Chain A
Amino acid sequence: MNSIARTETGNLLERNHCVVRLPLGLLGFERCKSFTLFARPEEEPFLWLQAVGNPKLAFLVMSPFIAVPDYLPAIPEEDAQFLGLEGPEDALIINIVTVRAGRQATINLKGPIVLNRRTLKAKQVIPLNASELSVAHPLPIRSR
């Protein structure tokens, strides 16, 4: 049985930044287990995820639902348990954006970062329906 719920892209960053714990790191970056998540108003809807202790390692991220409103990653039960999620309303999802040459950008829908918004524990999750999700979904970029 699937349980589906909606939660707001809430006020996670009330002071514009917070420290997110990724006990398993990001795939390929397993040693970086702590990141600062912060927003700069002029860059909305993007956020930055910057490694604590290594400012030279950062990822541009955003809520996937802005670009793909019907995005529906199926989070494995063991990941929900790992993150201590008692229901979908506890979770916040952000996805990594790749800025490419020629002012193009893509969002990785296959490897969402799921956060427990109460504890700020997070994990880059591979959804059960990953085979249906693009690792490089194009973002609509405004030409100047």
Chain B
Amino acid sequence: MLILTRKLNESIVIDGRITVKVVRIDGEVIKLGITAPADVPVHRQEVYEEIRQSNEAAATTRLGPVPKLSTPTAQPSGCAGTPSAGRNAAGQTLTWRSEPKTNANQTKPRIV
């Protein structure tokens, strides 16, 4: 393992395209700002590991059998070409922070 000493607001550069900057030091908590291209995933290790292990447990070599859900709200997914009115009662919802559009090639610091 390469070990480097950095002070507040100092950075390291990885592969000429990834920058990791110390943006705050507060006791035992250090905030890092990471600037990387969009095709470089950046994750907290413990969250990455949790989801990786879940994916590995879910991976299967054969298709089925699948369990039957007992939820009364279970509805057709609509993915079998059977459109029906009212399906959006269980419609999809998501949210994200709305920010001004930036150049797709531009990389932004991610505070982790």
Contact = CB atoms under 8 A, between A and B. Distances in A.
Interface of A: 1-16, 23-24, 26-29, 37, 39-41, 43-48, 50, 56-60, 62-63, 65-67, 69, 71-82, 88, 91-93, 96-99, 103, 105, 108, 110-111, 114, 124, 126, 128, 130, 135-136, 139-144
B73 A63 contact: no
Given A56-B61, A92-B92, A110-B47, A139 B67 contact: yes
Nearest to A100: B57
B78 A99 contact: no
Contacts, number: 216
A9 B96 contact: no
A8 B91 contact: yes
Contacts of A62: 77
A96 B56 CA distance: 11
8 contacts: A10-B78, A16-B80, A60-B58, A60-B66, A74-B96, A88-B93, A135-B54, A143-B70
Contact of B50 (A39, A124, A135): A135
The dominant DSSP class at the B interface is loop
Interface of B: 38-39, 41, 43, 47-48, 50-64, 66-71, 73-83, 87-88, 90-99, 102, 104, 108, 110
Given A15-B81, A46-B66, A110-B47, A1 B98 contact: yes
B94 A75 contact: yes
Contacts of A37: 79
A114 B76 CA distance: 19
A23 B39 CA distance: 8
A85 to B, nearest CB: 8
Contacts of A128: 96-97
B39 A13 contact: no
A122 B43 CA distance: 17
Contacts of B70: 140-143
Contacts of A76: 96-97, 110
